A and B are shown apart, each in its own frame.
Chain A
Amino acid sequence: MGVTAGGLVARRGRFVLDVPVFRADASGTAVLGPNGAGKTTLLYALQGLIARDGSVEKPARTAAVFARPAVLRGSALWNVAAVVSAALHLPLADARTRARSALGDVGLTERSGADARTLSTGERQRLAIARALAVEPQAMFLDEPFANVDADARPYLRALLRSYADRTRCDLVLVTASLADAAALCATAVVLRQGCIVHEGSLADVGSARDEYVQALVAESQLVL
């Protein structure tokens, strides 16, 4: 179905996000840009989590992974099960079964009984990914979902999200500071600066963006140790 926004304007304090057109579909759109460019604000505005002007069309069932996932008191399993049960109107027992398999998918099976508040930041992000996938979204909004995840688990988690999107035609919007994440999940990229889109195109061509931040990002990704 796709996520489409037109004339999107959102304010956070003195900061103004002004995005005349934005599109994302199952092939994935990466949102790049320096700190403070408005990447997270764009994600919030698309999801309707903050006040905004303009129009946004998106599927009914969406899910998000926040940069700092909030968790409920209780086990990791309960965290996923409670959300799944509420979002999909399922009995808790069924939700638990789904939660168990979702936690398995992100490699948290052994921590499923642990109090979610005691999980490390990386583990919390895995939990957030499990929780987001388990509500069977038709569109996903991801904010640095792998930032604190172990490097050796990242390729696997990227593949998990990519294959979910391929299988279900789930739209992806990914805010990231990592070209590796963007390349694994997204076909197109937009570059934000001070609340405005300064470049958009295929991710393969992102190097053509005449933007210092993007140039630094590309240069860094080409570094060989």
Chain B
Amino acid sequence: MLQIAALSVAVSVVATLVAAAFAIPAALWIVHGRSVARSLLLALFGAGLGLPPVAVGLAVAFTFWRSGPLGWVDLLYTPAAMAIAQTIIVVPLIGTLAVISLRTSDDTLPMQLAALNVPRRARFYLIAREVAPGFAAAILAGFGRAVAEVGAAQMTGGNIEGQTRVLTTATMLAVGKGDFGAAFSYVAVLLGIMAVAAGVVLTLQRRWA
């Protein structure tokens, strides 16, 4: 159980961080100006919100299938493949929420701070402090989606015991076997993980307030 939970957290944390590393700079770029490319990327993020994990899982599984385009890297049925699929699922969510949080903050703040002689570095710090709570919420939502997702984890990980079994795929298997006791305990741990993650983010947001 401990190993399954740890793998769930590890795969989803990696996926969320990689997704954030891409989605947050992208969100900053989208709100920084106006262009067709920016609108297009935002639209892509918006469309991606409804991306079914099963579809992403299928695409990733196909790509890494032994005879597939990237079959030679031998990643299918590894935690890395699961993390790649979850990253793709989570990028649009983090990107969209980050854009929303940036758009609701006063976009003249950087200019006003500059007009008050606040040096560039301090300006960056003060603005980061403004947007941090919104970004933290976006990242939390991303982690929630990644860790709770089952379709892609099943297809790209294969639910191999001791290797790629995570809480969601373990729950599916347990229910299939009629082992509701195990299924409930997996789900309880999953809920516990989300509660801890939400607690961490809320605490951070309070400290920044």
- Using CB atoms and an 8 Å cutoff, list the residues of chain A in contact with chain B: 47, 49, 61-64, 66, 68-74, 82-83, 85-87, 131-132, 135, 137, 141
A146–B118 Cα distance when bound, in Å, is: 23
A87, A137, A141: which contacts B118 (Cβ < 8 A)? A87
Interface 9-mer from B77-85, B95-103, B106-114: B106-114
Contact (A72, B117) CB under 8 Å given A49-B111, A64-B112, A66-B108: no
Interface pairs A-B: 3 shortest CB-CB: A86-B122, A64-B115, A87-B117
A62 lies within 8 A of B108 (CB): no
- What are 12 sample pairs from A and B whose C-beta atoms fall under 8 A apart? A49-B114, A63-B117, A64-B112, A64-B115, A66-B115, A70-B108, A70-B109, A73-B209, A83-B118, A135-B117, A137-B117, A141-B115
Q: Report the contact-size class of chain B (Cβ under 8 Å from the partner).
A: 20 to 34
Nearest-Cβ distance from residue B29 to partner chain A, whole angstroms: 20
B116 part of interface (Cβ distance < 8 Å): yes
A131 to B117, CA, bound (A): 11
The minimal Cβ–Cβ distance linking A33 to chain B, given in whole angstroms, is 21
From B116, B119, B129, B209, contact of A132 by CB (8 A):
B116
A72 adjacent to B126 (CB under 8 Å): yes
- How far, in angstroms, from A70 to B106 measured CA to CA in the complex? 6
Report B85 CB to chain A, min CB distance, Å: 36
Asked if A61 meets B117 with Cβ closer than 8 Å, knowing A66-B112, A70-B112, the reply is: yes
Contacts of A83 in B (CB 8 A): 113, 116, 118
Q: Give every chain A residue within 8 A of B114 (Cβ-Cβ).
A: 49
Nearest-CB distance from B110 to chain A (Å)?
Answer: 9
Note all chain A residues with C-beta closer than 8 A to B119.
86-87
How many Å lie between the Cα of A212 and that of B125 in the bound state? 47
In the complex, the answer to whether A49 meets B209 with C-beta atoms within 8 Å is no
Shortest distance from the beta carbon of A92 to any chain B beta carbon, whole Å: 12
